[in-house]
Amino acid sequence: MTRETCDVLIIGSGIGGLSAAALLVASGYKTIVVEKSPRIGGRYSTIDHKGFKITTGAIEIEMGGVIQKVFDAVGAKLEATVASTFKYRVNGKDYDMPAKGGMRAFISALAENEDEANRVMGGLKKALMWQDPADNISLRQWVQQYTENERIVRAFWSLVSPTHFVNDDELPAGKFFAYLKAPKAAAVGIAPRGPLELMETLRKGIEAKGGQIWTKCAATKIAVEDGKAVGVMVNRGGESVEIAAKAVISNTGPRKTVELAGADNFDRWYLNLMEETLHPAPFIAVHASSDEPLVDCDSIVFILGRRLSCMNTPSIACPELAPKGKHLLMAGGTPLSSLPPYDVQAD
């Protein structure tokens, strides 16, 4: 058995794991990232298919915010093309999301009259400025306090489906407003040659600072002594490797982390919370190719979609994502229920 040592061992090379690695190596910590897949990036990566660069999840990335600081920490360039302001479609007609007074103009365009728009905006102002909505009501229930207008109700659904991967009747109202109030990046962009190339740029920056990223390397056990994670056992190329570490970061999800470390090493309240409240957030995505763009903007939101909440045509901003003379469309939405069991055929 081979033995290695490091300051911090990170399980998983998704954007969370790589961001942690970048900040750690920039601060002088010897860091190793282990990734079971041959490809880094997790849900921000790329599958090459017949000349199309198809995302494994996210299509856009924040610019000028936290992610920018991560790239800067290791001297990596966050190369992305700024995405255009999204449009929204109501009853077959497309509207530009207003740049100034965006939410007010958005709600006014959907409201039956100004009184209705004022009620909804008054509720938004209260929720954002001084009274946080509770988590014991859903976002839909919160909206329906101010209007039964289905266009406005579904407008909120269309905002959470592509961002939270749940429906508006499943998302606690408090969580939605916490998201709205969180600091936002200056802009969002699209990686010109796909997410994986951008993650490889970050990888090079991490490795230039002395960090290591091992792909095709599955974690098999988190070693715990006296309640503290002290290392990880991995399978690297068929060989068992024991990596001793002063700290372990798991970017592989709560359930897998508990499995690797052993349930006995976690408090009962945490295990109960995980079992009772941790649910999957499924999202159905369909990719299609065409000779001409099927929608004429980077992103469009469907206010009255049954399941379809958004469409992206990233090849408009970044032609490199598709073969010459072709365009790539990604359309997606949440199932009728984000909780299992699913009716995959119906969805």
Q: What is the pLDDT of residue 151?
A: 92
> Which residue bears the tokens 């901003």?
317
Distance, CA of 164 to CA of 310 (rounded, Å): 13
Distance, CA of 296 to CA of 164 (rounded, Å): 25
Distance, CA of 85 to CA of 191 (rounded, Å): 16
Distance, CA of 24 to CA of 19 (rounded, Å): 9
Distance, CA of 3 to CA of 1 (rounded, Å): 7
The pairing of strands 61-63 and 52-55 is: unpaired
Q: What is the pLDDT of residue 42?
A: 96
The pairing of strands 2-11 and 239-250 is: parallel
Neighbours of 102 (CB within 10 A): 11
Cβ contacts of 312 within 8 Å, gap of 6 or more: 59, 298, 299, 300, 329, 330, 331
Distance, CA of 196 to CA of 16 (rounded, Å): 14
Q: Which residues pair with 233 in a beta bridge?
A: 221, 242
Strands, E, within the chain: which ranges?
2-11, 31-34, 46-49, 52-55, 61-63, 81-82, 87-90, 93-96, 187-190, 212-214, 217-225, 228-236, 239-250, 284-290, 299-302, 308-312, 327-333
Q: What is the pLDDT of residue 147?
A: 96
Structure tokens at 78: 């966050």
- Which regions of the chain are under pLDDT 50? none
Structure tokens at 212: 């290591």
Q: What is the pLDDT of residue 331?
A: 92
Distance, CA of 253 to CA of 259 (rounded, Å): 10
Q: What is the pLDDT of residue 101?
A: 63
Asked whether 205 and 70 are in contact (CB, 8 A), the reply is no
Q: What is the pLDDT of residue 91?
A: 79
What is the value of pTM for the model shown?
0.90
Rounded alpha-carbon distances, angstroms, from residue 147 to 108, 111, 342? 13, 9, 30
Q: What is the pLDDT of residue 100?
A: 60
Helix (H) or strand (E) holding 204: helix 195-208
